[in-house]
């Protein structure tokens, strides 16, 4: 393998490390931009683990595509160096860009979802109140009749025992 090819492959692995750092940082940013009681926050560890597994698979695919499955010891080191480069140099700018994207897309999406859920809850509460209002006279009549009938049945049973 030519040295220039190895250098290009090393640069590709460093860039993939930067991309991995950005993706993990973006996943964390998206999760923490949701409401505190959302299910996405509760399952954050599972989501991040799945993201790491997916990124590991994609890195392996990149290695397989780039080097026909043969990897050198410097490949994971180059990816780790890319993650460190992201943390050191690119994190502030790319995190700023990710926050802009999250504020433009993700937060309005969650607002719309919560608004739709709130509207559906209000509609269901109105239907439940209407049904309770309509059924209230029947419940009152049933409770009155059942109470008086049970009272008479208890009295009859009580008298039978004494005789």
User: Look-up: residue for tokens 């559906």?
Assistant: 120
Banded model confidence at residue 11, pLDDT cuts 50, 70, 90: very high
- The pLDDT score that the predictor gives to residue 33 is 81
pLDDT recorded at residue 14: 94
Tokens 């005789």 belong to residue: 163
Whether 162 shows a pLDDT value over 70: the answer reads: no
Nearest to 21 by CA among 71, 93, 73: 93
What pLDDT, on a 0 to 100 scale, did the predictor assign at position 91? 92
**Given a cut of 70, is residue 159 above it in pLDDT?**
no
Contact 25, 102 (CB under 8 A): no
pLDDT in tens, 30-89: 888 887 888 888 899 999 999 999 999 998 888 888 887 777 888 889 999 999 999 999
Name the residue ranges covered by the structural domains of the chain: 1-160
Q: Are 19 and 90 in contact (CB under 8 A)?
A: no
95 Cβ contact partners less than 8 Å away, ≥ 6 residues apart: 25, 29
Residue 153, pLDDT above cutoff 70: no
pLDDT at 18: 94
> pLDDT tens across 78-135, in order?
999 999 999 999 999 999 998 898 889 888 988 999 899 999 999 999 999 999 999 9
User: How far is the CA of 53 from the CAs of 47, 98, 115, 160, in angstroms?
Assistant: 10, 22, 34, 76
- What is the per-residue pLDDT for 139? 85
**Confidence at residue 45, expressed as pLDDT on a 0 to 100 scale:** 92
pLDDT digits (tens, 9 = 90+) for 133-151: 999 988 888 888 877 776 6
């Amino acid at each position: 393998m030519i040295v220039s090819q190895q250098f290009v492959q090393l640069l590709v692995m460093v860039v993939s490390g930067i991309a991995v750092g950005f993706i993990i940082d973006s996943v964390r940013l998206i999760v923490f931009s949701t409401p505190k009681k959302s299910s996405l926050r509760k399952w954050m560890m599972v989501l991040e683990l799945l993201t790491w597994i997916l990124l590991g698979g994609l890195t392996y695919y990149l290695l397989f595509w780039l080097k026909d499955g043969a990897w050198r010891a410097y490949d994971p080191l180059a990816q780790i160096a890319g993650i460190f480069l992201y943390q050191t140099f690119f994190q502030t700018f790319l995190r700023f860009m990710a926050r802009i994207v999250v504020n433009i897309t993700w937060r309005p999406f969650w607002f719309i979802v919560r608004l739709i859920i709130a509207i559906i809850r209000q509609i269901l509460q109105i239907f439940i109140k209407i049904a309770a209002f309509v059924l209230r006279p029947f419940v009152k009549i049933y409770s009155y009749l059942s109470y008086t009938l049970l009272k008479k049945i208890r009295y009859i049973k009580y008298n039978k025992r004494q005789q």
